[in-house]
Amino acid sequence: MMRESGFLERRIGSSRFVVYVPDVESGQPLPAILFLHGRGECGTDNLQQLSVGLPLAVMKRRSDWPFLIVIPQKPDYDLRWAECHQMVNDALDLVEKEFHPDHSHRYITGLSQGGCGTFELAAHCSWRFAAAAPICGFTDRLDLGADFQGLPVWAFHGLEDDVVPPQQSELAIQQILEAGGFAKLTLLAGVDHNSWDYAYQESELAKWLLSHHLV
Closest CA to 157 of 175, 134, 182, 177: 134
Predicted TM-score of the model (pTM)? 0.96
> Does some domain include residue 69?
yes
Q: Looking at residue 16, which CATH number applies to its domain?
A: 3.40.50.1820
In this predicted structure, what is the pLDDT of residue 2? Answer: 57
pLDDT, averaged in runs of 10, over the chain (215 residues): 84 94 86 98 96 98 96 96 96 97 98 98 97 97 93 98 98 97 98 98 98 95
Q: In terms of residue numbers, what domain contains 85?
A: 6-210
> Does some domain include residue 215?
no
In this predicted structure, what is the pLDDT of residue 82? Answer: 96
Report the number of distinct structural domains present in the chain: 1
CB 175 within 8 A of CB 145: yes
